[in-house]
């Protein structure tokens, strides 16, 4: 929610993320094993390592306008959107070794109330913490704690409210009534000086929630971006990371969800892919993906049961968001889920969860597109072209049903200003055309889309770009890794359509210029976006030249520009290579098609 509007902080020259304090001030017997061995700054005596016997950690039908008809949404249709960061640069410990538990241990704990489950200390937990710390901080030395800023209670509550108004609807991990009762009882005059007897998990949550909330307010222009509030809050949270995340209970899941949300908006520090990988394994390990058994339910209140369900759907939404942004398989398949959808609690009205359930449905459709269209073996599962087309038609019907409900939701709901975009016509429309684009772009199911599908693909790309630009000009577009990766998918698909004449060249001149403007909007911190903007500026100039030319070979320069974008854009491939990430496996189809055109 708020996460989509978080403005990235200015990084230091040190690739280590700014403001992360030492995890621990000095060794003690209560510290995890990896910290007693490696020390605060990652160094350890050789004899200590030898004694441990292990090596230190190493690195209704919706009608699209005709191609010639330009459609830009009006101001009444405006409002906004959500976000991811690239994964680790070093190899991490396999996820199955991080949170997997043996079947024997699992069976012994089935009847215990999940909220209160506690296991005997497992030495492997130390390795999990070590991996997580390296995931979050890399192999860099932690920086000293940031200087404390003056924050009174009204300002702190403003940060928290921003989070609740936006993020908690997409990731419903908090019981708002219970959480606010605890927050209102806090003494914020001493809260940032000392934790006192406060539980580490709650202290972690409050600080991380304020860190996320203040980035939303920065994006909305409510507070200045250079104050450094978010850095201070995240620094306080990270100092308790190993205490807040025990990998043994649902509070650890909540903490990892918050850590994942915050990672969306940091260009260099946190790595969403790795965090969500650990998060999903932990959720499955705790059985959050299944309906609570009767023997467990009898030991839990109705509120605890409902919050457990909501926590799973928060994990579900985050998993699908990151998977669709990278074009990678989801971690938790639909067939492994039988958890009921969120239901109202207390005095929550019947409409209070409509937005949350609508987003869950959208994420479900995204997962279907990944598994049935972009799966590596998608084509092998179908015996005929008719069967393949039937898959597209079924998913298209699901998309249309979702969008029709979304438009009704947007027209009947009360907007939350520019704090949350989740009921915005512009945001729902951008997501609708993005779904169509993913459905009809080259895939393992259809490496060469039919002409009629290419026509829909071209128009869907331009419409998605138009609504995205509306969000951007309204300060409602979150400039983060998820937005960037999804937007680059749109840009490369537009160029594919240009090469196949499913987009008018003259019309695309304006659209390519919008691409340049949005990419430049990410700022200097996002060097990848900046360098991609330079590539698209070259394309913009070339298309103008092509549109004025009447030569028969005018499509050839556009082909070459697409090859340049996919193969020689150093900024684009640097991040993919450095982080071992392929954004959309099917993008090979785009390169192949262009090369064939060149040979012909």
- Smallest CA-to-CA distance from 64 within 372, 551, 458 is with 458
Q: Show the domain range for 415.
A: 75-82+345-599
- The DSSP code for 331 is S
* Structure-model confidence comparison of residues 126 and 329, the more confident one: 329
Residue 557: phi and psi, rounded to 5, are -60, -35
pLDDT at residue 198 above 90? no
∠ Cα 37 38 41 (to 5°): 150
The pLDDT value given to residue 427: 94
Residue 288's pLDDT band (cuts 50, 70, 90): very high
**Mean predicted confidence (pLDDT) in 179-192:** 90
d(CA 145, CA 168): 28
Lowest mean pLDDT, pick from 78-92, 133-147, 149-163, 505-519? 78-92
d(CA 27, CA 35): 7
pLDDT at residue 357 above 70? yes
The pLDDT value given to residue 479: 86
Question: If 0-12 CB within 10 Å is exposed, 13-18 middle and 19+ buried, where does residue 118 land?
Answer: exposed
Q: How far is CA 289 from CA 20, 97, 280, 341, 410, in A?
A: 33, 19, 10, 12, 30
Residue 338: partners with Cβ closer than 8 Å, 6 or more residues away: 289, 290, 291
* CA 546 to mean position of chain CA atoms: 37
pLDDT at residue 142 above 70? no
Residue 14 lies in a domain: no
* Structure-model confidence comparison of residues 182 and 248, the more confident one: 182
* Structure-model confidence comparison of residues 132 and 46, the more confident one: 132
pLDDT at residue 444 above 90? yes
Residue 118 lies in a domain: no
Residue 241's pLDDT band (cuts 50, 70, 90): confident
Tokens, residue 259: 């850590």
d(CA 387, CA 376): 17
d(CA 111, CA 372): 37
**Mean predicted confidence (pLDDT) in 571-596:** 51
Q: What is the mean pLDDT of the chain?
A: 74
- Supply the pTM of this predicted model: 0.75
d(CA 226, CA 110): 49
Tokens, residue 85: 């960061």
Residue 227 lies in a domain: no
The pLDDT value given to residue 71: 38
The pLDDT value given to residue 509: 76
Task: Tally the domains of the chain.
Answer: 1
Lowest mean pLDDT, pick from 96-105, 278-287, 411-420, 569-578? 96-105
Residue 490 lies in a domain: yes
The pLDDT value given to residue 577: 53
d(CA 30, CA 502): 64
- pLDDT above 70 coverage of the chain, percent: 63
Residue 151 lies in a domain: no
Lowest mean pLDDT, pick from 8-12, 129-133, 478-482? 8-12
- The DSSP code for 123 is H
The pLDDT value given to residue 158: 95
Q: How does DSSP assign 266-328, residue by residue?
A: -SSS--HHHHHHHHHHHHHHTTTTSPPPHHHHTTS-HHHHHHHHHHHHHHHHHHHHHHHHHT-
**Mean predicted confidence (pLDDT) in 545-572:** 53
* Structure-model confidence comparison of residues 266 and 595, the more confident one: 266
496 touches 102 (CB < 8 A): no
Residue 9 lies in a domain: no
The pLDDT value given to residue 421: 86
3-state SS record for 248-261: CCHHHHHHHHHHHH
Tokens, residue 118: 């506690």
pLDDT at residue 529 above 70? yes
Residue 548 lies in a domain: yes
d(CA 437, CA 431): 10
Q: Can you list the alpha helix ranges (DSSP code H) found in 83-122?
A: 96-99, 103-109
Highest mean pLDDT among 58-67, 191-200, 547-556: 191-200
d(CA 513, CA 271): 31
d(CA 276, CA 133): 14
Residue 586 lies in a domain: yes
Residue 376: phi and psi, rounded to 5, are -55, -35
248 touches 117 (CB < 8 A): yes
Tokens, residue 415: 């907007």
pLDDT tens-digit map of 312-334? 999 999 999 999 998 899 999 99
pLDDT at residue 425 above 70? yes
Tokens, residue 149: 């800023």
pLDDT tens-digit map of 67-115? 334 433 333 333 333 333 333 333 333 333 333 333 333 333 333 344 4
- Smallest CA-to-CA distance from 192 within 227, 237, 224 is with 237
Q: Tell me the angle at which helices 555-563 and 481-499 cross, rounded to the nearest 10 degrees.
A: 150
259 touches 270 (CB < 8 A): yes
CA atoms within 13 A on the CB side of 228: 13
Q: How does DSSP assign 50-62, residue by residue?
A: HHHTSPPP---PP
501 touches 29 (CB < 8 A): no
């Amino acid at each position: 929610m708020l996460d989509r509007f978080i403005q990235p902080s200015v990084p230091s020259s040190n690739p280590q993320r700014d403001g992360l304090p030492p995890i621990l001030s000095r060794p003690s017997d209560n510290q995890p094993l990896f910290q007693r061995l490696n020390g605060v700054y990652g160094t350890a005596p050789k004899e200590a390592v030898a004694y441990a016997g292990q090596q230190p950690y190493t690195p209704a039908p919706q009608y699209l306008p005709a191609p010639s008809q330009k459609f830009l949404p009006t101001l009444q249709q405006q409002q906004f959107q959500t976000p991811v960061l690239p994964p680790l640069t070093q190899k991490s410990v396999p996820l199955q070794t991080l949170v997997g538990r043996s079947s024997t241990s699992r069976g012994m704990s089935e009847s215990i109330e999940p909220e209160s489950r506690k296991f005997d200390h497992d030495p492997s937990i130390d390795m999990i913490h070590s991996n997580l710390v390296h995931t979050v901080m890399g192999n860099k030395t932690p920086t000293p704690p940031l200087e404390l800023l003056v924050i009174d209670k009204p300002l702190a509550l403003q940060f928290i409210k921003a989070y609740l108004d936006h993020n908690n609807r997409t990731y419903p991990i908090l019981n708002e009534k219970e959480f606010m009762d605890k927050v209102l009882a806090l003494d914020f005059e001493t809260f940032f000086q000392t934790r006192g007897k406060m539980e580490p998990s709650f202290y972690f949550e409050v600080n991380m929630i304020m860190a996320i909330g203040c980035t939303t307010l920065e994006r909305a222009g409510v507070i200045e971006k250079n104050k450094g509030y978010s850095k201070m809050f995240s620094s306080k949270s990270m100092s308790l990371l190993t205490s807040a995340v025990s990998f043994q209970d649902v509070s650890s899941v909540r903490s990892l969800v918050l850590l994942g949300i915050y990672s969306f908006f940091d260009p260099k520090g946190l790595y969403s892919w790795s965090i969500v990988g650990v998060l999903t394994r932990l959720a499955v390990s705790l059985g959050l993906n299944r309906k609570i058994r009767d023997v467990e339910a009898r030991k839990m209140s109705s509120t605890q049961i409902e919050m457990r369900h909501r926590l799973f759907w928060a994990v579900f939404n985050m998993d699908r968001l990151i998977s669709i942004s990278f074009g990678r398989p989801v971690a938790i398949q639909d067939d492994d889920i039988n958890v009921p959808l969120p239901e109202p609690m207390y005095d929550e009205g019947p409409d209070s969860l409509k937005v949350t359930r609508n987003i869950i449905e959208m994420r479900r459709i995204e997962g279907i597109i990944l598994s049935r269209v972009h799966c590596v073996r998608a084509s092998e599962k179908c015996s005929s072209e008719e069967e393949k087309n039937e898959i597209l038609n079924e998913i298209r019907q699901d998309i249309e049903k979702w969008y029709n409900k979304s438009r009704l939701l947007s027209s009947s709901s009360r907007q939350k200003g520019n704090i949350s975009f989740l009921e915005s016509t512009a945001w729902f429309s951008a997501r609708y055309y993005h779904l169509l684009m993913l459905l009809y772009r080259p895939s393992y199911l259809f490496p060469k889309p039919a002409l009629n599908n290419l026509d829909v693909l071209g128009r869907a790309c331009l419409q998605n770009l138009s609504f995205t630009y509306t969000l951007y000009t309204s300060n409602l577009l979150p400039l983060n890794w998820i937005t960037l990766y999804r937007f680059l998918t749109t840009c490369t698909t537009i160029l594919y359509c240009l090469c196949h004449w499913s987009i008018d060249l003259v019309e695309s001149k304006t659209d390519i210029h919008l691409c340049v403007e949005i990419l430049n909007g990410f700022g200097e911190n996002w060097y990848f976006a900046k360098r991609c903007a330079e590539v698209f500026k070259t394309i913009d100039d070339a298309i103008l030249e092509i549109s004025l030319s009447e030569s028969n070979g005018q499509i050839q320069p556009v082909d070459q520009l697409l090859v340049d974008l996919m193969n020689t854009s150093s900024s684009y491939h640097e991040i993919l290579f450095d982080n071992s990430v392929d954004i959309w496996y099917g993008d090979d189809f785009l390169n192949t098609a262009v090369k064939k055109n060149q040979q012909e």
